[in-house]
Structure formats: C-alpha cells, structure tokens
Amino acid sequence: MREVVFSADDFGLTESVNEAVERANREGRLTQASLMVAAPAAADAVRRARTLPGLKVGLHLVLVDGDSMLGHAALAHITGADGRFSTDQAALGVKYFFSPAARRELRAEIEAQFAGFAATGLPLHHADAHKHFLLHPTIAAMMIEVGRRYGLKRLRVPAEPPAIMTALGEKVGFGERALYAWTRLLRRQARGLEVPDQVFGIKWSGHMTRERVERLLELLPDGRTEIYSHPATRRDEALVRLMPDYDHVGEFEALLAAP
C-alpha cells in the first residue's frame, strides 16, 4: 500500500512562504509543514497555523545557514556575531563532532528550539532539520534525545531511492548513492519513531515542479513516502538572497494541484 505525504520546509522564513503554506493546505495537497522557530516570520506562521486544523506542523531544526534561538552570546563557538549559523556545513559538522564546547552549545540550542516550538502551543507532529543536518550522528542523537522529552514521535529520514531517480531519467552519482546508504545510520538511531520509507525532494531541491511531481507519483514504491518542497507565493528579497536558484513559485504551484 502507498501513503503519500506532501510537506513544506522553511515555514516561518518569510511571509511569502507562510502564505504559500496556508494556501497550499487550504486549496491544494499540502498536509504538513516544518516550522523554523527562530526565523523572522515565525510568529506569522504560527498565527496562520492556528487557523488551519488540517495542517500538521513540526519543527524544522536549524543548525546551519539560519538564525539561532539563543544568539551569539550563548553560542559563541557555533554562530557569528549576528547570531546566525554559518553556511559552511562541513566546518560546522567538524566542530559539532570534535569540540566539547561546540557540543554543549549545540545541545542548548536544540533544547531551545524544541522549547520554542512547545511555546507556540501547536502540537508537535514531527521534526526534521534544515539542509538535512540530522544526518550528522551527533546532531541526530541529541535531536532524538531532546525531542522525545517534548513528545517527538515522527522524524524525517531523508532517504531518496537512487533506483527511482534513475528510472525518472536522472543521473545519480556516487555521492548521492553514498548519502542514501548513510541514511541507514539515522534510521537505526530513530528506532521507535515513525519515519517515512522514502523521501523525495533532494535531487530536485528547489525545483519540485508540478510536472516532476506528477512523474514521480507514477513510479512511487509501496510504503510511506514524503515529498517535500520549499513553496512561496513570490520571490521576495530574502528568498532571492538565501536561495537564488530555487523555483519557489513553481513548487507552490505544484502543491496547488488537486489533492
């Protein structure tokens, strides 16, 4: 049997993202969204979510290329002076693995983001991580441990089957196959939590257009599938700066298709 979930990342990043989430849930096939609790438009996202009983909201944990909850004074080893996490995911990953001071700050920030979500009053449906940083085993271990205390029951394991992407005509390289194999570690760490059998949106990140989604739906294997995207009703200044090559509006239009 097949179960397909359409989800949206970066809820709370900008009002154009929030508007897309609201409209895609009311008018299209979007069923869940992942909230950036420290993002500039998080309060607007929460306000909208409270009016959407059919939208399941989870935590989009941000530990790279985004705003922190605790700020630089509390996270001196892992954020810049502006309180933002670096865009250098590899360098942060090394810090999180080898530096005791960085790990202490990492745990405090993960706790703060789960607490921030709890403070919204929204039920915690799931959790995932910005740029799939929960594939870092140190982050995953802390995220799952802290998350369980906040009632976490579902986690995204970003496992995109190479065989399906190949069947769709995409060239899948060694790195992508290695990443898929690496997700087995996270799946083991997440034992006891509900996880999807496969996730799509990695190869086509920022370009999950309607045509691509429809092609994908024809080839889905059995099991629970999550298809995620980054919708927005318009390309505002922040989205152009942060994700210059993403087709946010195209992804929004794909979610407006009949559920």
- Write the CATH number for 82: 3.20.20.370
Q: How many CB atoms lie within 10 A of CB 222?
A: 10
pLDDT in tens, 38-60: 999 999 999 999 999 999 999 99
Counting residues of the chain whose pLDDT is more than 90, the rounded percentage is 98
Query: Which structure tokens are listed for 57?
Result: 């909201």
Cβ neighbours for 195, distance < 8 A, ≥ 6 positions apart: 154, 155, 156, 157, 187
Strand positions, DSSP E, the chain: 2-11, 32-35, 56-61, 127-129, 198-200, 223-229
Q: State the total domains in the chain.
A: 1
Interval 80-95: pLDDT, tens: 999 999 999 999 999 9
Range of the domain at 65: 2-255
Helix axes 248-255, 210-219, angle to 10 degrees: 50
Per-residue pLDDT of 202-255, as tens digits, reads: 999 999 999 999 999 999 999 999 999 999 999 999 999 999 999 999 999 999
Q: Distance between the two ends of the chain, CA-based, in angstroms?
A: 18
